[in-house]
Amino acid sequence: MAPPLLRVEGLLKHFGGVIATDRVDLSVRAGEVHALIGPNGAGKTTLIHQLSGALRADGGRIFFDERDITRAGLHQRVHLGVARSYQITSIFRGVTVVHNLVLAVLARSGSSLRFWQPLAREPALFEEARALAKQVGLGGRENLVAGRLAHGEQRQLEVGLALATRARLLLLDEPMAGLGPEESQRMVALIADLKGAIALLLVEHDMDAVFRLADRISVLDSGRIIASGTPEAIRNDEGVRRAYLGEGFA
Amino acid sequence: MATLILEQTLNGLQFGLMLFLLAAGLTLVFGIMDLINLAHGSLYMIGAYLVATVVRATGSFALAVLVAVLGTAAIGVLLEVTVLRRLYARDHLSQVLATFALLLICNEIVRIVFGSQPVMLSMPNALAGPVQLLPGFYYPAFRLAVIGVGLAVALLLYLLVGQTRAGMWVRAGASNREMAAAMGVDVKLLFTAVFGVGAALCAIAGAMLGPILAVQVGMGESILITAFVVIVIGGIGSIRGALIGALLVGMVDTIGRAFLPMLLRSFLSPAVASGVGPALASIAIYVLMAAVLFWRPQGLFPARA
Amino acid sequence: MRNAPAIGALVLLVAFPLAAKHWDQLFYVSFASRILIYALAASSLNLILGYGGMVSFGHAAFLGTGAYAVAILMAEGVSSAWVSWPLAILVSTLFALVIGAVSLRTRGVYFIMITLAFAQMIYYLFISLRAYGGEDGLNLAARSRLGFGLDLAGDLTFYYVVLSLVVGCLCLMQRLLDARFGQVVQAIRDNETRMEAIGFPTYRYKLICFALAGGAAGLAGALLANQNGFVSPNLMQWTQSGTLMVMVILGGVGYLYGGALGAAVFLVLEEALSAYTVHWQLGLGWALLAIVLYARQGVAGLLAGTAAGRR
B157-181 pLDDT tens trace:
888 887 887 778 777 776 776 777 7
**Residue C305: predicted pLDDT:** 64
The stretch C128-149 carries a mean pLDDT of 88
B95, part of any domain: yes
B299, part of any domain: no
**Residue B239: predicted pLDDT:** 87
**Residue C311: predicted pLDDT:** 42
B48, part of any domain: yes
The stretch A2-26 carries a mean pLDDT of 90
B137, part of any domain: yes
CA distances from B145 to A165, B123, B150, C248 (A): 66, 11, 8, 46
Cα(B230)–Cα(A56) distance, rounded to whole angstroms? 30
pLDDT-derived band at A242 (thresholds 50, 70, 90) equals: confident
pLDDT-derived band at A175 (thresholds 50, 70, 90) equals: very high
The stretch B256-267 carries a mean pLDDT of 81
| Strands of A59-64's sheet in order across | A18-28, A6-15, A59-64, A67-68
The separation between the first and the last C-alpha atoms of chain C, rounded to the nearest angstrom, is 10
Specify the amino acid at residue C108.
Answer: G
**Residue B304: predicted pLDDT:** 61
Instruction: Closest CB to B92: pick one of C112, C281, C288.
Output: C112
Q: How far is A241 from chain C (nearest CA, A)?
A: 35
pLDDT-derived band at A1 (thresholds 50, 70, 90) equals: low
Measured over all CA atoms, what is the biggest interatomic distance in chain C, rounded to whole angstroms? 61
The pLDDT tens digits for B33-60 are 888 898 999 999 999 999 999 998 888 8
Name, of A15-29, C214-228, C262-276, the range with top average pLDDT.
C214-228
Cα(A100)–Cα(A89) distance, rounded to whole angstroms? 13
Weakest mean pLDDT among B64-68, B174-178, C86-90, C115-119? B174-178
B120, part of any domain: yes
**Residue A123: predicted pLDDT:** 94
- H/E stretch holding C163 reads helix C155-178
The larger pLDDT score, comparing residue C146 to residue C224, is at C224
Weakest mean pLDDT among A114-128, B138-152, C32-46, C276-290? C276-290
Is some CB atom of chain C closer than 8 A to the CB atom of B295?
no
B277, part of any domain: no
Tally of domains within chain B? 1
pLDDT-derived band at C176 (thresholds 50, 70, 90) equals: very high
pLDDT-derived band at A245 (thresholds 50, 70, 90) equals: low
Across all residues in chain C, what is the average pLDDT? 89
- H/E stretch holding B101 reads helix B92-114
Residues 207..226 of C with a Cβ closer than 8 Å to A: which?
Answer: 208
**Residue C306: predicted pLDDT:** 47
pLDDT at A51 over 90: yes
The DSSP letter of residue B123 is: P
Cα(A65)–Cα(A49) distance, rounded to whole angstroms? 19
B187, part of any domain: yes
Chain centroid to CA B225: how far?
10
Weakest mean pLDDT among B48-57, B168-177, C112-121, C180-189? B168-177
The stretch B62-80 carries a mean pLDDT of 93
The stretch B204-232 carries a mean pLDDT of 89
Residues 49..68 of C with a Cβ closer than 8 Å to B: which?
Answer: 49, 55, 57
Compute chain A's Rg from CA coordinates: 18
pLDDT at A135 over 80: yes
Cα(C266)–Cα(C45) distance, rounded to whole angstroms? 15
B251, part of any domain: no
**Residue B189: predicted pLDDT:** 84
| Set of chain C residues whose Cβ sits within 8 Å of the Cβ of B36 | 109, 112
Residues 168..207 of C with a Cβ closer than 8 Å to A: which?
Answer: 175-176, 178-184, 187, 190-191, 193-202, 205
Is some CB atom of chain C closer than 8 A to the CB atom of B15?
no
The pLDDT tens digits for A186-229 are 999 999 999 888 999 999 988 889 999 999 999 998 899 989 99
Name, of B186-190, B229-233, C302-306, the range with top average pLDDT.
B229-233
pLDDT at A249 over 60: no
Q: Count the alpha carbons within 13 Å of C140 in the hemisphere toward its beta carbon.
A: 29
- CB contact burial C292-304 (16+ within 10 A = b; e otherwise): beeeebbbbbeeb
**Residue C307: predicted pLDDT:** 41
**Residue B305: predicted pLDDT:** 46
| Set of chain B residues whose Cβ sits within 8 Å of the Cβ of C114 | 232, 289-290, 293
Specify the amino acid at residue A56.
Answer: R
- CB contact burial C168-181 (16+ within 10 A = b; e otherwise): ebbeebbbbbbbbb
pLDDT at C65 over 90: yes
Is some CB atom of chain B closer than 8 A to the CB atom of C285?
yes
Report the predicted TM-score, pTM, of the whole model to 2 decimal places.
0.88
Instruction: Closest CB to C285: pick one of B90, B101, B276.
Output: B101
pLDDT-derived band at A244 (thresholds 50, 70, 90) equals: low
Cα(A169)–Cα(C210) distance, rounded to whole angstroms? 34
The stretch C63-91 carries a mean pLDDT of 95
The stretch B125-132 carries a mean pLDDT of 81
Q: How far is C98 from chain A (nearest CA, A)?
A: 19
**Residue A110: predicted pLDDT:** 84
pLDDT-derived band at A246 (thresholds 50, 70, 90) equals: low
Task: Count CB atoms within 10 A of the CB of residue B80.
Answer: 25
Range of the domain at B103: 8-217
pLDDT at A166 over 90: yes
* Beta strands in chain A, from DSSP E residues, in sequence order: 6-15, 18-28, 33-37, 59-64, 67-68, 82-85, 169-173, 199-203, 216-221, 224-229
